[in-house]
Amino acid sequence: MEGRLIPQTYDIKAGAASEKTIYATKQIENAIGTQKAKEEAARRVQPVYSILSMKNESLVDTTFEKLKQINADDQLNTNDKASIFRNVFPTMYGDYVTMLSASIRTSDPANDGLLNEVKTALADQMYRIPEEFYFKFPKLSKEDLDEMEPVAKEIVGRLMNDQLLNAQTARTRVAEFVNSSSLSKRESREMVQEIVRFVLTPNKFPNQKATDEARAEARDGTKPVYINKGDVLVHKGELVTEETYERLKAMDLLKEKTNYWPQLGLMLLSGLFVLGLFMFVSHSEHPIRSQNLQLLMLVLIYVLNVFVMKVVSLGPYANIGYLAPVAMGSMLIAILIGTPLALASSMVFALLSSVIFNTGGEQLFDFRYGLLALVVCITSVYAIQQANQRSSILKSGIMVSLSGAVTVLCMTFLDNVYTRSEIMFSFGFTVASGLLTAVLVIGLMPFFEVTFSILSPLKLVELSNPNHPLLRKLLIETPGTYHHSVMVGNLSEAAAESVGANGLLCRVGSYYHDIGKTKRPSYFIENQMSMGNPHDQIEPDLSKSIIIAHARDGVEMLKEHNIPKPIRDIAEQHHGTTLLKFFYFKAKKLQEEGAEPIPEEDYRYPGPKAQSKEAAIVGIADSVEAAVRSLRSPSIEQIDTMVRKIIKDRLDDGQLSDCDLTLRELETIAKTLNEALLGIFHSRIEYPAGSSPAQAETKEAKQA
């Protein structure tokens, strides 16, 4: 994470060759690139033209009016009229240009450029009537002119409807229109052609002002060009130009001065993460507060999760962070340690993800990866709850894939800047992330279970399988003990769950707690069936040794089969240092008069006393089940008295002094055991005398 937050600096000078390939650590604007992009955008803008309404019909009217006026003067001969026409036509055209210029100035007074373009174009493209036509115009009669005028107006109107940048393109078409007109005289058609060509002008003019405005708008609308985070600033061996040097300086990549603020910020951020987790753990009731081995396991999970995230971040693809199995850490913590710590860790993983996968921008965190990591981590924690087999991890991985895919699609659509390929890659990465999470968790679970002697729910469920070699041995060789163990398992699980202890551990521990009895099954009353009791034939000291040995033998057998330590502890501690009262008093009875008193310690289990709630609960349930089973027809009162007496005897004997069971929890355990035993021995409960069978059935149904 340090590389993401604290950029490396380089001792480099402008004009020197770079010893390393240097990458951009953040996104900055490329000023030169932006300027080039603006100029390119402006260059692509085509010149803007203005289309003007030229009012050429008015010039047609003026022309024919002059022709009629001059031709009607009988005092002038043909030469005089030709001379006048030679001057009148340019004058009419000049007056037309003046009138048009005034109109443009009025409509757009600030656009001098357009006015100049119009004047220049009209002057350059003015049609010069051939000299011979000046001598032909005087020959036109008033009737000829009246016939020619509407034809000329129509042709001018039709040709001026087009956008004319060059009037010559329209003048080449005049003959075509005139020949198809109603004029019959050849002379009239020739005169009309010349008049129309004279009247035609361009109506499309370059508008430099509008062009400049369009280009300025194109420049302003050009997006800045950025050097993105991760882009190469200078290759190894490449000369560092002034421009590159300035970029390196802008990114604080030069060793011009020592800046310790980023390091301090990283230390503070790491400290906040550690402090937050410490506060959470210290205020929780989880055993991790006092178990350094579990703390070490938590740190290892964090390291593995961050390592995997870092490896994925090195991938070359965009949005590669969606592929990271961030939920792996949360799922492992939920299974191996507990849900509350997994939820707290999910927030830490989300923050780390938003830093590690931040690939651009000026901000420290990329909310996209942080949000995705938070969603998939929380989903994995709740999806893995009540996991009782390895396939549950795969199902949780599928839930992670689905929740992550929905989150990515939501963010992509909200961003509103996406392509089909981007959606497909993002979706595929997220789905693969969930499956990769499940694979890694399944692969790492055995490592943590063996290395840290962790009994996960999945491992406990596997150990509770009746096909386990030890449980099959218990069932086949000691069926009585097997039935007793199952009954103890039911009782202890209910009692443990009532006080918040690990009920599944109590159940599985109960299955194995008397496994040592398979060494000498006939010496335990539940396996004697109809045979005689061998203890009647041997000394109480030997009987004591046989009975006490079953705990030690059980631990050895469990070690041989690699059964985890918490279950071995239950087998070793469920009797604590209790006294074998029957054989102790039998030994005292057989003791010769005058002999030294037999110490109680010789007839006590070697211990140790129960060190955990689970071991203590299994021990209580073991004694309760055996004691109640010894009663022929136990009543509700007898069961309650028996349960409370056993718990009190254990408490008075100091057997519960090393575990953290409270008096309130012992009361809850007593009530729970009473309820469980009531269901087990329901059919054996005696009903008050005088009750009829029908009344008995009614009472039994109500109690059920």
- pLDDT, tens only, 454-510: 777 878 888 899 999 999 999 999 999 999 999 999 999 999 999 989 899 999 999
pLDDT band at 687 (very low <50, low <70, confident <90, very high): very low
- Amino acid 593: pLDDT: 63
Residue 418: pLDDT above 80? no
Q: What would the pLDDT profile of 125-179 be if each residue is shown by its tens digit?
A: 999 999 999 998 898 889 989 999 999 999 999 999 999 999 999 999 999 999 8
- Amino acid 261: pLDDT: 61
What are the distances in angstroms from CA 180 to CA 147, 170, 190, 540?
A: 15, 16, 13, 143
- Amino acid 259: pLDDT: 58
Higher pLDDT, 219 or 364: 219
Element (H, E) at 218: helix 208-221
pLDDT band at 363 (very low <50, low <70, confident <90, very high): low
For residue 387, how far is the Cα from the chain centroid?
24
Q: Is 613 exposed, middle or buried (0-12, 13-18, 19+ CB in 10 A)?
A: buried
pLDDT band at 703 (very low <50, low <70, confident <90, very high): very low
- Contact (CB, 8 A) for 183 and 148: yes
- Contact (CB, 8 A) for 669 and 501: no
- Amino acid 419: pLDDT: 72
Instruction: Indicate the Cα dihedral angle 88, 93, 99, 101, nearest 10°.
Output: -150
pLDDT band at 364 (very low <50, low <70, confident <90, very high): low
- Written as one letter, the residue type at 689 is A
Higher pLDDT, 112 or 220: 220
pLDDT band at 695 (very low <50, low <70, confident <90, very high): very low
- Amino acid 584: pLDDT: 87
On the question of a common fold for 272-454 and 476-703, the answer reads: no
Q: Which two tokens stand for residue 307?
A: 């390592």
- Amino acid 611: pLDDT: 93
Least confident of 519-523, 547-551, 665-669: 519-523
- Amino acid 8: pLDDT: 66
CATH topology of domain 272-454: Arp2/3 complex 21 kDa subunit ARPC3 (1.10.1760)
Q: Which two tokens stand for residue 238?
A: 């490449």
The model's pTM is 0.56
The full set of domain ranges for the chain reads 49-206, 272-454, 476-703
**CA dist., res. 333 & res. 323, Å (int):** 20
Higher pLDDT, 414 or 574: 574
Secondary structure (3-state) at 172:
coil
Q: Which two tokens stand for residue 228?
A: 């993105």
CATH of 476-703, one of 1.10.10, 1.10.3210, 1.10.3470, 3.10.620: 1.10.3210
- Amino acid 682: pLDDT: 57
- Amino acid 683: pLDDT: 47
Residue among 345, 367, 348, 342 nearest 357 (CA)? 367
| Residue for token pair 């030890």 | 470
Residue 704: pLDDT above 70? no
For residue 689, how far is the Cα from the chain centroid?
70
Q: What would the pLDDT profile of 224-258 be if each residue is shown by its tens digit?
A: 888 877 788 888 888 888 787 777 777 767 766 55
Mean pLDDT value across the chain: 84
- Contact (CB, 8 A) for 227 and 28: yes
What are the distances in angstroms from CA 394 to CA 323, 443, 455, 462?
A: 17, 12, 19, 17
Q: What would the pLDDT profile of 333-351 be if each residue is shown by its tens digit?
A: 998 888 888 998 999 899 8
Query: Is the bond preceding residue 693 a cis peptide, omega within 30 degrees?
Result: no
- Contact (CB, 8 A) for 610 and 619: yes
